[in-house]
Structure 1
């Protein structure tokens, strides 16, 4: 049996090597292969190789044993050899299809010096993992993509060590564990060159030009020593943007050759995919920049539902005009209905589009809740009830919703709040009485609704606060403020609350809400922006009150030297201290009393406007004959500046009176009358 076994082993090795070599056939594997088929190709191929090798050995042995016999017998054994060879060859081809279709990527990112840059390689791997493996994110808007095809073993990074890199290259060449190879190289300061090969054949290449794509920031390599990363935040952000675009190009290239990328939701253009990723995952000073990027993403790829839905979100989610908001709700409802129809018809996959569908429906519920209680919106509210009920049925655990557990739970709680708020208290289908819920409604609704009211998750806590205010108004102010306290741990939610149309009534009537938003006027001149960096040193040098700081200040230290300030900066601080001294000395009167709670804000607004001395205030600005709305209407500009910060401002007449008193106050800040403690209009 030893010669037979060795012969079979030799043939198996031969056909395994043949299968490996067939991988290099151009365009191999010619078509997309699903994961189930790939497992069949692997085990089927190995089985066929073994079976065919056994057939060849058996046929050769039989032909040898019957060498002196009839020619028919020899012919039959020859047929066995031929069939065995054909079976083994089929196994080699099946193995080649398996090896060539593996989703494994080797990434090599070079620096400006041409050497492998492991830091940049790991950065792009992390971004590619975020795009292609992270679960769906964003409760209303798609953040990044919903692709989960790239697992932890799919990505490999080239070693910078020459010995390890050589060993890695030999192993991958022999066993084909990584059919995909990606090379990324910088070309100047604003361009990355990306080349992608599969089984040794070029599949795609692109030049990623930061300026052509409309990306902002410093050049990616600005101020970076050779072989090192960027040294400024702007340069870091610019490099991250380029790396995201490179990751998007790699992901789009893989999606053309593999199944499992349905989470791209119709996106095919890598530029659109990258711009959407940057717009939804980057940190922007304003939504306008993200909106511009998303607009360009839609122009580049009109089939990308990710970019289209995100663009509508940025443009219309904070809309206050009723008709525009209702139009957005109708668009969302039609989009969700279209996605559901396509999923039911098999045109779109549930795994790829399900998470996006739920986000669209969650946004629809939020927008409908923002609409005023008018009869013309009754139909939208009825649709909202139906959508909320469907979400409450589909999202609980055990229903196989294509959404990660934590996100599904958050959606479930928000849907419970929406279902409660969109169902009228007198609706017999919703409640049996004013106290109890109809037992025929969605199972476990009461538990979800109560959990949502007590949730400390920022998004759900904010929705709960809106729900409580919508139903009870200021009678539940303490509970609303408590919920908002949890919600405002998220800065974006806190920023949205300042302009949320649903909370306008709360903003105008609740002092606690305005204080929670940080809209309480400052009452300490030390908190003026020019003094904040130097407060600690000035106090240590003996300056207890800002008004005490003068140009001839003496003490145990020379203050200017102690602070290491230039004469110009110190002169400005002294000038502003004089302004504060005179502001503190303004005499309180019935004419200007409403300004007192805003005095620090008024001084801060003056400084922002470039007024650092009372003598710079033009008499025409504060005269009773000043025309409101005139280009030189300083009072309106001052009040708008204050209102922009704290959403409140002193009365115009009182502000004029206070500024006139400020101009008349002696420069040395003569003692004023005892200062009262007015409450003002807060």
Structure 2
């Protein structure tokens, strides 16, 4: 029987409360012989309604966001700041987020970033911390030995003789770095064996000690470090880094900083700017310094000390240049490489011995600029001996010659006479300066109007172009061929009967090949102004040549070749034109320095080739020494009656009075002031203002004016004409062609006994070709002339 009883819940006074129900359950289970009654009581209440979730503080949300972003430190800072601001009641604010932030800060974030951080910490704990002391000591000694080895290697002469390009430099750097890294890794691995295991003593007893790696294991790192040192030294020596310092102290004014800046700018212009000049090379064709680093040397004491130590350790700048201005007209430059002096030179603004400067005395800035350009030339040539990429020097091997050529073709672009003097001086210093030779020949003959001179210049240009092309001077060969085509036009205008050159088609092919080679070399990514200007000029000249020689036949080719065959023949040598009026070509005449040109001209005179002699003598006349000697040279004296020789000697030209020792040093200043010949000095006042304008003292100006007055009388009084008897006829020698000689004898006083009339006569007789039988007549005529001139009593 099942009995259910329901009991009343809470009293009615508990109204409003949820009812509670108590249930009692009695179960009677019959069994054989007995009856079991079980009563169970249970109380149930209705289910409670769910509580509303508590609101999350925005600070906790922000902190959780920072933790998720891997910024636990920022999350901790945010929570702590908020707790402090709110006071004690917020002491448990964001407890869960703070715990997570502390855990993330200790173990790192989850994911790849956290794994990497934990791996690095393990490496530090297992490898770096135990080996730090040993590694630092080993690295210190290794670094010291490495630096010493590198500095010793950079001082070896054989290291300086290697020339490397950019690819080789990069390979050296990579090889040195790789060798050093591998060596350090091996050293670290060997050091890691220290302290691991036991060392057995005699008798088999294990004792405590430090296990050392076998000595043979250290050979590998040592060899790698030696290899790295050698490669590093080679790389440092190959770096094109230059430190520059110019010292210029004028009284209390120190202009060293400005001069250093000027030297850097000029060095960049000479060696780092694009080539310029369609016919005449304006400066050099070197562009290698455009990728180098030109640095001013430190000025302050602290900077000098710090950078000096740095340079001693790592060789920051292998090249150092020191330029010291000694006075207004001279300077000294020293170029060193890794502490070894490799080039020194004393520089001067003079165009040569006894010529004097090319600037007036008060042109201080112009003089400084010229000295700076000369120093830049010295630096460029010094760098060219150790680094590739300086082929644009055109064969020059002396920096002074390069500097003079730069000044002549840039500063004196409009002053051809001074430019020719400087170019002649450049060739005297360095006959191999092909750029200076091309520029000088252009100034001497480009504007000629005589057909014979133009024809000789044309043939010389053809030979020069072939020679330059063979030697790899592409840009110079281009310039020479441009001039060649221009001279062809002028030659036909001067002599309309001139035939077309037999090798003209060959010259066109040669020019096209040179232009294509120039464009292929390094003009792919940038516009080359010179190449563009050359192409435009060449197109105009092609049309001009065709118009000038239209309908005109070709000259006969040498060796019986016809013009077509000659046009396809290789340019193995200069053409030889068979025209009777064309002088015979001499081998390699375009490369002659002034002295070589002088000797070649004398050979032409002996062969009775007067026109060729006049052509070849022009470079020689840029030398003051040779302009003076030509009037005394016995080989010339015996031919002074010939018209061509008289023009070469210039004895009747007032302009050649500038050759005199008295006038030569002041030629540049006087010509700049508009004084064309020394004769004009006789009419110039000797006041202080005029003297200051010319950069002279009043005493010097007065002396020049007096000498000009004496020379003026030579041109105001007619010179005697002396008969000279030969086997067949009588020729007359006009002493007007010896006026400069007589002025030189009287004013310079170099000849002995010129203080007496007989001494003057004897000195002049040595320069006039007269047979011994006519000496008495010569003395009488010249003596009377001297009396009329008022030079002797």
TM, length-normalised to structure 1: 0.53
Summarize deviations over 1:215-248 as a string: whole Å, max 9, x none. 62458xx6xxxxxxxxx5x222122111111111
Offset at residue 129 of structure 1 (A): 0.9
CA distance in 2, matches of 1:383, 1:297: 33
Equivalent of 2:536 in 413, 417, 434: 413
The 3 A distance-change label for structure 1 pair 341 and 396 is: closer
The 3 A distance-change label for structure 1 pair 18 and 276 is: farther
Q: Tell me if 1:43 matches 2:184.
A: no
Offset at residue 295 of structure 1 (A): 1.3
The aligned residue for residue 402 of structure 2 is 273
Over the aligned positions, Cα root-mean-square deviation in angstroms equals 3.5
CA distance in 1, matches of 2:199, 2:438: 80
CA distance in 1, matches of 2:546, 2:149: 65
The 3 A distance-change label for structure 1 pair 329 and 162 is: same
CA distance in 1, matches of 2:418, 2:525: 31
Kindly report which structure 2 residues correspond to 1:154-233, keeping only aligned pairs within 5 A, or say none: 154-211=293-350, 213=352, 216-217=357-358
8 Å contact from structure 2 (residues 335, 342) kept in 1: yes
Equivalent of 2:482 in 341, 354, 362: 362
Kindly report which structure 2 residues correspond to 1:268-417, keeping only aligned pairs within 5 A, or say none: 268-283=397-412, 286-343=415-472, 353-372=473-492, 373-379=496-502, 381-390=504-513, 400=523, 405-417=528-540
1:118 partner SS: helix
1:90 partner SS: helix
For structure 2, list consecutive stretches of 5 or more residues without a partner in the other structure.
Answer: 1-126, 202-210, 552-735, 737-793
The aligned residue for residue 267 of structure 2 is 128
Q: Which range is displaced more, 208-217 or 406-415?
A: 208-217
8 Å contact from structure 1 (residues 271, 300) kept in 2: yes
Summarize deviations over 1:145-166 as a string: whole Å, max 9, x none. 1111213652111344444444
Q: Which range is displaced more, 368-377 or 37-46?
A: 368-377
8 Å contact from structure 1 (residues 391, 415) kept in 2: no
8 Å contact from structure 2 (residues 318, 338) kept in 1: yes
8 Å contact from structure 1 (residues 105, 180) kept in 2: yes
8 Å contact from structure 1 (residues 332, 361) kept in 2: yes
8 Å contact from structure 2 (residues 478, 511) kept in 1: no
8 Å contact from structure 1 (residues 18, 92) kept in 2: no
CA distance in 1, matches of 2:285, 2:488: 26
For structure 1, list consecutive stretches of 5 or more residues without a partner in the other structure.
Answer: 223-231, 344-352, 428-630, 632-682
Summarize deviations over 1:449-503 as a string: whole Å, max 9, x none. xxxxxxxxxxxxxxxxxxxxxxxxxxxxxxxxxxxxxxxxxxxxxxxxxxxxxxx
2:530 partner SS: helix
The 3 A distance-change label for structure 1 pair 18 and 36 is: farther
Kindly report which structure 2 residues correspond to 1:604-643, keeping only aligned pairs within 5 A, or say none: none
1:377 partner SS: coil
Equivalent of 1:97 in 215, 222, 234: 234
8 Å contact from structure 1 (residues 23, 96) kept in 2: yes
2:369 partner SS: helix
Q: Which range is displaced more, 366-375 or 254-263?
A: 366-375
Summarize deviations over 1:561-583 as a string: whole Å, max 9, x none. xxxxxxxxxxxxxxxxxxxxxxx
CA distance in 1, matches of 2:397, 2:142: 38
The 3 A distance-change label for structure 1 pair 261 and 404 is: farther
Offset at residue 203 of structure 1 (A): 2.1
8 Å contact from structure 2 (residues 335, 343) kept in 1: yes
8 Å contact from structure 2 (residues 351, 425) kept in 1: no
Summarize deviations over 1:168-221 as a string: whole Å, max 9, x none. 4444344322111222222233321222222122222222233474562458xx
CA distance in 2, matches of 1:91, 1:132: 32
Offset at residue 144 of structure 1 (A): 0.8
8 Å contact from structure 1 (residues 365, 388) kept in 2: no
Q: Tell me if 1:21 matches 2:152.
A: no
Kindly report which structure 2 residues correspond to 1:80-119, keeping only aligned pairs within 5 A, or say none: 80-112=217-249, 117-119=256-258
The 3 A distance-change label for structure 1 pair 157 and 422 is: same
The 3 A distance-change label for structure 1 pair 149 and 69 is: farther
CA distance in 2, matches of 1:168, 1:116: 22
The aligned residue for residue 161 of structure 2 is 31
The 3 A distance-change label for structure 1 pair 334 and 167 is: same
8 Å contact from structure 1 (residues 279, 291) kept in 2: yes
1:208 partner SS: strand
Summarize deviations over 1:95-126 as a string: whole Å, max 9, x none. 12212332111111112369571111111111
CA distance in 2, matches of 1:38, 1:423: 50
Name the structure with the higher strand share: 2
8 Å contact from structure 2 (residues 423, 440) kept in 1: yes
Number of equivalent positions = 405
CA distance in 1, matches of 2:501, 2:291: 49
Offset at residue 67 of structure 1 (A): 7.1
1:185 partner SS: strand
